Chain A
């Protein structure tokens, strides 16, 4: 059994390679909580395998399991494509289409801010959307760098990254950029209409600040997002 973002899962798997992905999330027992049984079909396996012909069987199985966990997410939870970093017990999420440079950007935070920050998840954190706050949770699926920690922190900011020549960040009204954010959200299949996604996004927008950043790859880029999103001085953090 394992526990991800506070929910208990029993996973049916075939390949031993799957276990290492979940090892930080294993639990021995649960105390009367609902157990989600996760399995996948041969059809799921074939579809994922067709997308990536070079992947090994246990990796394909891992993706199938992840997809089925996402499908069963209750309606106040979602997975957001992005990298989430923790600083002073608050989480900051950077989102963008694949290949924009989320990983590069947060690796600048860890390079210069060292142990003052840690990456909760490098690719697809789970967000639990409560009435007055959103909590970002680590999860086993985390991108090729393997950046994940089984922990959580309240989400303070979400930043949409875009490549640019210079570094420029501004706080934005999330409604004006809604189409960019919606593309990066994955919700469960029981509530999976566009209206459900809009409604959960609206709920997130009530307690989280949103930013848009154009950035290059530099120390200056990390300083720019750090200072705007946390309100702290970069120079006081760097030794």
Chain B
């Protein structure tokens, strides 16, 4: 699982957004705002964490159950894959 080339993460006053550039901007027009958890997961994917490792990190960082964390990561990855941001 990695971020497709051309999708760039930016933060505006703490608000994370994913912006397509170059070829990616032909496949996807516009940008996507991420919520806090989404931004956290995105940055871990950038650092090449596996899904299981991201779940572990979420458990350390936030007061959530393993089920909730697993579901958050699964949903985010599936959503981003559907959008064509991950491969």
Contact call A175/B25, Cβ cutoff below 8 A: no
Instruction: Please tell me which stretch of A117-125, A156-164, A192-200 contacts chain B, meaning at least 4 of its Cβ atoms lie within 8 angstroms of it.
Output: A192-200
Please, which residues of chain B bring their CB within 8 A of the CB of A232? none
Please, which residues of chain A bring their CB within 8 A of the CB of B20? 194
In the assembled complex, B66 has its CB within 8 A of some CB on chain A: no
Looking at the assembled complex, report how far the CB atom of B13 sits from the nearest CB atom of chain A, in whole angstroms. 5
Given contacts A194-B31, A198-B31, contact A178 B21 (CB under 8 A): no
Given contacts A194-B31, A195-B10, contact A175 B21 (CB under 8 A): no
Chain B contact patch, size range: 10 to 19
| 8 Å CB interface, B13-31 against A | 13-17, 19-21, 25, 30-31
Chain A contact patch, size range: 10 to 19
Bound-state Cα–Cα, A179 to B12, Å: 12
In the assembled complex, B11 has its CB within 8 A of some CB on chain A: yes
Contact call B15/A173, Cβ cutoff below 8 A: yes
Looking at the assembled complex, report how far the CB atom of B14 sits from the nearest CB atom of chain A, in whole angstroms. 6
In the assembled complex, A234 has its CB within 8 A of some CB on chain B: no
Please, which residues of chain B bring their CB within 8 A of the CB of A194? 19-21, 25, 30-31
Contact call B12/A174, Cβ cutoff below 8 A: yes
Bound-state Cα–Cα, A76 to B19, Å: 20
Q: Which residues of B contact A (CB under 8 A)?
A: 8, 10-17, 19-21, 25, 30-31, 33
8 nearest interchain CB pairs?
A175-B15, A175-B12, A175-B13, A202-B12, A195-B19, A195-B21, A173-B13, A205-B13
Name 23 A/B residue pairs within 8 A (Cβ), A-sorted. Answer: A173-B14, A174-B12, A174-B13, A175-B11, A175-B13, A175-B14, A175-B17, A175-B33, A176-B15, A176-B33, A178-B17, A179-B30, A179-B33, A194-B19, A194-B21, A194-B30, A194-B31, A195-B8, A195-B19, A198-B17, A198-B19, A199-B10, A202-B10
